Amino acid sequence: MNINENYLNLEESYLFSTVAKKVAQYTSENPDKKVIRLGIGDVTLPLCNAVIGAMHKAVDEMGSQSTFRGYGPEQGYDFLRNAVKNYYLKRNVELDTDEIFISDGAKSDIGNILDLFSKDNAVLVPDPVYPVYVDTNIMAGRKVIFANANEENDFLPLPDKNTKADIIYICSPNNPTGAVYNKEQLKLWVNYAKEQNAIILFDAAYECFVSDENLPKSIFEIEGAKDCAIEFCSLSKTAGFTGTRCGYTIVPKNLGRLNKFWLRRQTTKFNGVPYIVQRGAEAVFSEEGQKEIKENINYYKENAKIISETLTKCGIYYTGGKHSPYIWLKCPNNMKSWEFFDYLLNNIQIVGTPGSGFGQNGEGYFRLTSFGSKENTIEAMKRFEEAFSPAKV
Ligand code: MLT
């Protein structure tokens, strides 16, 4: 047998696994220190009541002969697909139920979708970016080119007509920078994709953090996007499903064979999301569920404000935090990303994510998340301010 040698072109371990390993080593060597984790974007608030109630009911159904369910449709139950459909309708995006595919989260589908595309496609990825886009393409041996995101373009690169691309990744609100495209900017990407006969893979995992009604939450709010885009979304950050696992992928029928091919792929390789979880996900879209998840999102936004205010006080450049759970900051004293990571962990026991893990342009930057508890965020920022107040830097 021949092994897939493309794996040799990857970093030895996935960014968040490397961070977790370093933190585990530090905590085992320093058991008396209180480490505050603002690294991986993992939620801390529990599932809301609407979700828990629906899941309890579904558990009971599974325990009774007349309501028990075995294998479900691989693409998701219609009750959940229709709930997603109605959610999009609120923003005037009309979808057909069979354009909506329920998944176990955005990360899996973002990787799996590549089954539909040939190896010789050129892939355009912003730098810095969520490492999954790059790694999954490296695994498949595809050529990846980068669009520079930096302070000059507010971390929102726009299309360059001289760059030829077949598959284009966009994440807005962005992980890691928190930057959000407006409608005009996204329209430029849609036009570019159509000119190039390319496809946009749009990651909307952080859409629920957009609080300005004029900013797009879905690429399908942009005219023409159904002809050139697939959208991935997840309930992980929206409704605290990081451990529960549920998301959805929209493959418009305007994309021709791609919709059928994705169904074919999913029915062959995926057994669907558990019934109990899908009932919980359906409840996220109920009136009560929407109200409850908004309260949780506001809690995280409050944390983002606490972090942002501290950085402002310390005179540290940052972006994000307003329409995103991520705050992207410039490392003080010209420190490199991993150097700053070690400094924070060793001196004030705060864990963040090194910007260089998201790409070359992330070197010298650092990401903090607002997904911690309020108490821990306040405590972390107190330590941060003591270490980096202008008098000390
Ligand atoms: C992150 O911290 O970037 C995310 O939690 C990773 C993910 O969603 O897979």
In tens, the pLDDT along 106-140 reads: 999 999 999 999 999 999 999 999 999 999 999 99
CA–CA distance, 150 with 133 (Å, rounded to integer):
18
- In the predicted model, is pLDDT for residue 19 greater than 90? yes
What would the pLDDT profile of 33-79 be if each residue is shown by its tens digit?
A: 999 999 999 999 999 999 999 999 999 999 999 999 999 999 999 99
- Ligand 1: does its nearest atom lie under 6 Å from the Cβ of 175? yes
Residues in contact with 278: Cβ distance below 8 Å, sequence separation at least 6, in sequence order:
72, 76, 77, 79, 80, 102, 246
Examine the pLDDT at 364 and tell me if it is beyond 60. Answer: yes
**CA of 176, closest atom in ligand 1:** 3
* Closest CA to ligand 1's atom 5: 41
pLDDT band at 14 (very low <50, low <70, confident <90, very high): confident
Q: What is the pLDDT of residue 391?
A: 63
Ligand 1 centre to CA of 75 (Å) is 24
Query: Strands 143-148 and 36-37, how do they pair?
Result: unpaired
Which pLDDT does position 27 carry in this prediction?
Answer: 96
- Ligand 1 centroid to Cα of residue 161, in Å, is 31
Report whether pLDDT(290) > 70.
yes
How many other CB atoms are there within 10 angstroms of residue 247's CB atom? 26
How far apart are the C-alpha atoms of 283 and 281, rounded to whole Å? 5
pTM of structure: 0.96
CA of 41 to the centre of ligand 1 (A): 5
Q: Ligand 1: which atom is nearest the Cα of residue 107?
A: 9
pLDDT of residue 126: 97
238 lines ligand 1 (CB under 6 A): no
**266 SS3 class:** helix
Do 110 and 201 form a contact (C-beta atoms < 8 A)? yes
Gap from CA of 130 to ligand 1 centroid (Å): 8
pLDDT the model gives residue 389: 87
Q: Which atom of ligand 1 is nearest to the CA of 39?
A: 2
Contact 219, 225 (CB under 8 A): yes
Q: Is the CB of 19 under 6 A from ligand 1?
A: no
